[in-house]
Amino acid sequence: MTDLRNKRIITVATTGAWPTKKDTPNVPIEPYEIAEEIYNCWKEGAAVAHIHCRDDEGRATMEFRKYEEVVTLLRTKYSDCDIILNITTSGGIGLSEDDRIRPFYELKPEMASYDCGTMNWQHNSVFENNPQFLEKLGLLMQEAGVKPEIEVFDPGMIYNAQYYIKKGILKAPCHFQFCMGVAGGIAASTKNLVFMKSVMDEVAPGSTWSAFGVGKGAMEIMYAAIAMGGHIRVGMEDNVLYRKGQVADNNMQFVARAKRVIEEFNCEVATPSEAREILGLPAR
């Protein structure tokens, strides 16, 4: 058996809810663009794909047929690609709970995001994940055999996870995504990442974790997470700039850089099958 402690999982979040073709023409928006970009990111070393879709106007959506199209393309046209699929359950802000549930419940990706609390989003709206919704979401994920990727935007959300683990809504060992640098949540700094991890170790020992920083903290969080034994997420959902003043050409550019950093640190990039082992997902 290979030693997995030295392996780092790269998750790519190609699209997200926000960047438009006006912000950057390079963001994949159409289902065929998203599927092709995920395929190319897998070739560069991404083991997990976090998927959002857009409606015909390019706005954030949980429209089922869009998710179905992306997943079907990946399972047919790109069937040699064994990347782990992780479907969003937020989609954006203010989408209906039923619509947020349907894609993961019917398409049965191996993972789906689970945003573990409500927050003020970017000082302009409410990202609502109320207690009733979180209980329902956790139980439906168990029913569908989908592993939650517990997205936490501040330490309070890690304590929410502790509550849901105790209630049996979330099953240990859990996987956390530390989402840092979003206005309304915790800032993206190494000091804060160390604190987030220490809270997680205390309340959910044995969990795996990944992290990303939005905006200027992106590189700091990537280097710190790799050094601290965590996994990382990159992509245009979180950053459209490759570096200050330079718009990224595509998502593959972010994956390639993450791979270089991981290897320079004397770690190795986890393949999807190694990532399954690390995350406790059934082998395929």
- Closest approach of Cβ 1 to Zn ion, in Å? 32
The nearer residue to Zn ion, 2 or 120, going by C-beta atoms, is: 120
Closest contact distance (angstroms) between CB of 87 and Zn ion is 9
Give residue number: closest CB to Zn ion.
88
Q: Which residues of 112-147 are buried (b: 16+ CB within 10 A; e: fewer)?
A: bbbbbbbbebeeeeebbbeeebbeebbeebeebebb
CA atoms within 13 A on the CB side of 186: 26
251 near Zn ion, judged by CB under 5 A: no
Site string for Zn ion, 60-99 (x = CB under 5 A): ----------------------------x-----------
In whole angstroms, the minimum distance from the beta carbon of 51 to Zn ion comes to 8
Q: Give me the least distance between CB of 248 and Zn ion, in Å please.
A: 17
Residue 236 region by backbone torsions, left for phi larger than 0, else alpha for psi between -120 and 50, else beta? alpha
Question: What's the min distance (Å) between Cβ of 179 and Zn ion?
Answer: 8
Smallest gap from Cβ 3 to Zn ion, in A, equals 31
The Cα 101–Cα 67 span in angstroms is 12
d(CA 218, CA 240): 11
Binding characters for Zn ion, 185-214, by CB under 5 A (x = yes): ------------------------------
CA distance 4 to 33: 32
Cβ nearer to Zn ion, comparing 116 with 203: 116
| CA gyration radius, the chain | 17
115: which strand partners? 151
The nearer residue to Zn ion, 42 or 203, going by C-beta atoms, is 42
Lookup: tokens for 52: 């959002």
Binding-residue total with Zn ion (CB under 5 A): 1
Please report how close the Cβ of residue 54 comes to Zn ion at its closest, in angstroms. 12
Closer CB to Zn ion, 44 or 237, in the complex: 237
Choose between 122 and 198: whose C-beta lies nearer to Zn ion. Answer: 122
- Measured CA to CA, the distance from residue 127 to residue 20 in angstroms comes to 20
Containing 279, the helix (H) or strand (E) segment is: helix 272-279
**Are 4 and 274 within 8 A, CB to CB?**
yes
Nearer to Zn ion, 49 or 222 (CB): 49
Measured from the CB atom, the residue of 88 and 253 that comes closer to Zn ion is 88
Tokens 């970017």, located at residue: 122
Contact residues toward Zn ion (CB under 5 A) are 88
